[in-house]
């Protein structure tokens, strides 16, 4: 008598990014999680730090104070199937987030404040280190930063919004907690163009942004 046995076949549409044995009870279980290819969404929260600066904006001298503000946003992206560059994984994502209010002073003794919304498109490269709990990634983004500006001085109060070209380098860590749930921690520097800002000093204009959040693979 001949006995035949065959392992159950995976559905044809099943996609696994990292093809490694997964033993949920083994000693490396925390490191053997898999990421499904395709889309994902994530919610991020954290804070942003602004360096102090001195500038002349629309003829008015502004002293921006260094400090922290709350920040948060949403991501939506796509993990591409691995066709080249193993063990790198390539990711494209939309990155929208808000940076809370920073304050400063005007030369006439008045006050100045601004908050920022960023709409960025990131291209990321994630490195699959099989024996690590978290996978590092790096990349860069391009898009727009929209500042909401308010000033109060001798001439009264004024406010408005202005959109500027922006770039951001990105580095972070990706923890895959289950087949669909992941955790990310991330740093990026939102660097904003100074086309309407005169006599800017103290380095590039922008924010150091620190985010952490949970996401869901489709």
DSSP string, 15-83: -BSS-----TTSTTGGG----BSEEEEEEEEEEEEE--EEEEETTEEEEEPPEEEEEEEEEEEEE----
Average the pLDDT over each of 75-89, 100-114, 129-143 and give the range with the smallest value. Answer: 100-114
Average pLDDT, stretch 120-140?
88
Average pLDDT, stretch 192-202?
59
pLDDT beyond 80 at 71 = yes
pLDDT at residue 100, rounded to an integer = 87
The 10 Å Cβ neighbour count of residue 182 is: 20
Percent of the chain residues topping a pLDDT of 70: 62
pLDDT at residue 112, rounded to an integer = 72
The token pair at 204 is: 């590039």
Nearest-angstrom CA–CA distance, 6 and 115:
61
Chosen CATH of 38-116+131-217 out of 2.40.160, 3.30.1370, 2.60.40, 1.25.40: 2.40.160
Longest CA span, the chain: 99
Average the pLDDT over each of 3-12, 43-52, 54-63, 162-171 and give the range with the smallest value. Answer: 3-12
Rg (CA), the chain: 23
The 10 Å Cβ neighbour count of residue 157 is: 10
Average pLDDT, the chain: 77
Percent of the chain residues topping a pLDDT of 90: 38
Condensed to tens digits (0 to 9), the pLDDT of residues 1-53 reads 444 444 444 444 444 444 444 444 444 444 444 556 889 999 999 999 987 66
Average the pLDDT over each of 1-15, 97-111, 150-164 and give the range with the smallest value. Answer: 1-15
What single DSSP character describes residue 149? E
């Amino acid at each position: 008598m001949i006995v035949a046995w065959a392992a159950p076949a995976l559905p044809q549409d099943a996609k696994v990014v990292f093809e490694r044995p997964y033993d949920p009870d083994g000693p490396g279980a925390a490191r053997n999680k898999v990421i499904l290819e395709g889309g994902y969404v994530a919610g991020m929260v954290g804070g942003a730090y602004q360096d102090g600066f001195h500038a002349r904006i629309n003829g008015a001298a502004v002293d921006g104070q260094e400090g922290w503000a709350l920040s948060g946003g949403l991501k939506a992206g796509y993990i591409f199937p691995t066709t080249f560059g193993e063990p790198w994984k390539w990711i494209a994502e939309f990155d929208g987030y808000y940076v809370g209010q920073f304050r400063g002073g005007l030369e006439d003794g008045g006050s100045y404040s601004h908050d920022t919304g960023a709409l960025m498109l990131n291209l990321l490269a994630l490195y699959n280190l099989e024996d690590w709990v978290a996978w590092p990634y790096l990349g860069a983004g391009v898009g727009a930063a929209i500042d909401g500006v308010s000033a109060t001085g001798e001439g009264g109060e004024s406010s408005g919004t202005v959109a500027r070209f922006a770039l951001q380098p990105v580095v972070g860590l990706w923890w895959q907690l289950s087949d669909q749930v992941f955790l990310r921690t991330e740093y990026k520097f939102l660097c904003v163009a100074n086309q309407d800002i005169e006599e800017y000093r103290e380095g590039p204009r922008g924010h150091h942004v620190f985010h952490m959040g949970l996401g869901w693979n489709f």
